[in-house]
Amino acid sequence: MNNSIIFYIIGWILKLEAAFMLLPCATALIYRETAGISFLIPMALCLAIGIPLTIRKPENKIFYLREGYVSVSLSWIVLSIAGALPFVLSGVTPNPVDALFETVSGFTTTGASILMDVEAVPHCLLMWRSFTHWIGGMGVLVFLLILLPLTGGSRMNLMKAESPGPSVGRLVPKVKSSARILYSIYIVLTILEFVFLLLFRMPVFDAFTTAIGTAGTGGFGIRGDSIASYSTALQIIITIFMILFGINFNFYFLLLQKKWKQAFTNTEVLCYLGIIAVSIVVISANIRSLYGSTGESIKHAAFQVGSIITTTGFATTDFNLWPGLSCTILVLLMFVGACAGSTGGGIKISRFLILFKSIRKELMQYLHPRSVNKVTIDGKPVEHEVIRATNVFLIAYLMIFAGSILLISVDNCDLVTNFTAVAATLNNIGPGLSMVGPVENFAFFSNGAKLVLIFDMLAGRLEIFPVLLLFLRQTWKKF
């Protein structure tokens, strides 16, 4: 284990977090809020720990996948603990577990909240909780790859450990350039949404927090009713951008390269858009009697389908009151999730494609035992290692899911609440059904249950294995 490079990366993470906190501090100055003082101590602590850890560059800058996973997991934990301090120091969430829950929910782009009255929270803290979505959406370590002088192989190991999806590929030969391209696309799309929201008369503060929340597919709203009180035009803009941020960013890179055919024949993107279209049609028909018109039902159906499948978590209505068919579709979409390589969570469309094609391959093997069949996506064979990793991921996912439901059931909540609470946190969605529906929150859970859900949020965002490796004794052995 190359401990020196791990501490070096954590040091950089702390320094970056201190820099990130300048935005809520500036917000506090604009709105003349004394709550901005609560960011000064965390910033000082981040710098006091981060600077000594980075003052000397490690002699050995090479590290392997194990170090990459450990670096990513520890960085996200440190990032969340430091980010929770302003909530505690300001008195908004005096309970440290609540503050950690809110912050982890932000950085993992989950959007599940314990705040009872979000509109009473100071602007600077609302800015911080929304900004954590944007930081965590693309990944803070992906951003760090642009800055750190690491070798190519080490950069790739770091990127694999943090990027969502069954596999990570380089957009261009250099990983540093890939990271720069990803963040450029991310920033441009965020700015575009911000501009469109302003054009349709959303207040500047609302537009900025909504844009960065949508970009990270996070879902922290700054109003008690989430997005419901905004105009139809604004809701449509947010719907479109939620869906856009759920698409694999490789798709946008291919468009920039003018590789139109390769982009628009991508199986994962086509399946993603197809699932959205079918879900909107079915739910719109199912809820029409609740809203009185086809247009209104399509608007709400499209928004909630886009919000759930991209794991954003915004809401325009209390879908907890929808018919059973519509609620069931939304719950299923929680597990499906967005595309690999997007800012969305969930199991991912690409994994389901691999699983379905693997099942078909096995069935064909039964019919023709001597035939040689390969799993292919977009005409390219999927390596056996990727198939194996997908199968193991699903097993680990189901074990964590079942174990989490069992652990939080100690609080004696109903099964729908427990099931959808775990689904909403492990898939980084935000709202669930019943007691954790879109107009409710997670404040009623005990500290123990909240810690389980915090673990689920981190495991879901980091694709399970980086977090699980922290619990293996062999991970910490020096070879």
High-pLDDT (> 70) share of the chain, %: 91
Give the separation between CA 70 and CA 76, rounded to whole angstroms: 10
Contact status, residue 314 vs residue 216, Cβ threshold 8 Å: no
pLDDT digits 0-9 by tens, 419-441: 999 999 999 999 999 999 998 99
The distance of Cα 312 from the centroid of its chain, to the nearest Å, equals 8
**Whether pLDDT at 367 is above 90:** no
Amino acid 326: pLDDT: 96
Helix (H, G, I), strand (E, B) or coil at 261: helix
Structure confidence at residue 466 as a pLDDT band (50, 70, 90): confident
Amino acid 377: pLDDT: 86
Which one-letter DSSP state was computed for residue 229? T
Task: Please compute Rg for the chain using Cα positions.
Answer: 22
Mean pLDDT value across residues 436-457: 95
Amino acid 79: pLDDT: 94
Closest C-alpha to 346, from 421, 425, 452: 425
pLDDT digits 0-9 by tens, 232-242: 999 999 999 99
Contact status, residue 65 vs residue 131, Cβ threshold 8 Å: no
Neighbouring-strand partners of residue 380: 377
**Whether pLDDT at 453 is above 50:** yes
Give the separation between CA 341 and CA 67, rounded to whole angstroms: 22
Which one-letter DSSP state was computed for residue 383? P
pTM here is: 0.93
In terms of C-beta distances under 8 Å and separation of at least 24 residues, what long-range contacts does 433-440 make, across chains too? 433/320, 433/327, 433/331, 434/320, 436/112, 437/318, 437/319, 437/320, 438/226, 438/315, 438/317, 438/318, 438/319, 438/320, 439/225, 439/315, 439/318, 439/320, 440/320
Structure confidence at residue 303 as a pLDDT band (50, 70, 90): very high
Structure confidence at residue 16 as a pLDDT band (50, 70, 90): very high
Mean pLDDT value across residues 131-158: 70
Q: What are phi and psi of 377, to 5 degrees?
A: -135, 125
In this structure, of 216-225, 285-294, 365-374, 417-426, the range with the lowest mean pLDDT score is: 365-374
Amino acid 319: pLDDT: 94
Cα separations (Å) of 474 from 77, 122, 393, 467, 470? 20, 45, 20, 14, 9
As a 3-state breakdown, the chain gives helix, strand, coil percent values, each rounded to 5, of: 70, 0, 30
**Whether pLDDT at 84 is above 60:** yes
**Whether pLDDT at 168 is above 50:** no
Amino acid letter at 90?
S
Amino acid 137: pLDDT: 87
Amino acid 5: pLDDT: 82
pLDDT digits 0-9 by tens, 23-68: 999 999 999 999 999 999 999 999 999 999 988 877 766 666 777 7
